[in-house]
A and B are shown apart, each in its own frame.
Chain A
Amino acid sequence: DTAVSQTPKYLVTQMGNDKSIKCEQNLGHDTMYWYKQDSKKFLKIMFSYNNKELIINETVPNRFSPKSPDKAHLNLHINSLELGDSAVYFCASSHQTGERGYTFGSGTRLTVV
């Protein structure tokens, strides 16, 4: 059973389009995250949600809107896609304290053309 699953795995779209990525975890964690890994392979936090509440928004453009309908799901909607949004987006989850580590999904490779 996949612990953190995100869909789709690949997404190719044109500039200006709107797209969504979905994430679900079955680990019973109460905190979920979105990370972006750009072409330089640097992993950067975008959003953190704890018990469906937004905790961290790391100066992400407001074209990115996360939504957490419940503790097990965290989706990411992106409006008006730009070339610079091309990256791999990872969803992750952890217990609130994070001390046992974070579990990552397999990533969504977004290419904007």
Chain B
Amino acid sequence: RKEVEQDPGPFNVPEGATVAFNCTYSNSASQSFFWYRQDCRKEPKLLMSVYSSGNEDGRFTAQLNRASQYISLLIRDSKLSDSATYLCPMDSSYKLIFGSGTRLLVRP
């Protein structure tokens, strides 16, 4: 089993839609979780950290469920500029472990 699993998508949604992604992870000892976005031919960029209590940053809401070992990202009022691949790595002893990423396409 992969350490971090994501639905590769693509998720194809209209502008203004709400879309949610999930990630499951296998290492219960992981302490830190993140959402990154990666645009085509660019580096991954930190979108937000994920805290146990859940956290929100504008249109983005992240949640962590340690008991079920998954994290989620909710994007409200999708914009065309949200089109990207979303990655949910976990930090584990001097390395970030990535899944395959979930591709989001927001159409006009």
Q: Which residues of A contact B (CB under 8 A)?
A: 31, 33, 40-45, 48, 50, 55-56, 58, 90, 92, 97-107
Residues of chain B with a CB closer than 8 A to A42's CB: 98, 100
A-B contacts, CB under 8 A, total: 53
- The answer to whether B46 touches A103, judged by C-beta atoms less than 8 angstroms apart, is yes
User: Is the CB of B86 closer than 8 A to any CB of chain A?
Assistant: no
Q: Which residues of B contact A (CB under 8 A)?
A: 31-32, 34, 42-46, 49, 85, 87, 89, 91, 93-98, 100-101
Q: How far is the CB of A108 from chain B (nearest CB, A)?
A: 11
- The answer to whether A104 touches B43, judged by C-beta atoms less than 8 angstroms apart, is yes
Q: How far is the CB of B68 from chain A (nearest CB, A)?
A: 21
Cα distance A18–B6 when bound, in Å?
A: 36
Cα distance A33–B89 when bound, in Å?
A: 15
In the complex, what residue of chain A is closest to B40 when comparing beta carbons? A41
Beyond A43-B87, A98-B32, is A104–B44 a contact (Cβ under 8 Å)? yes
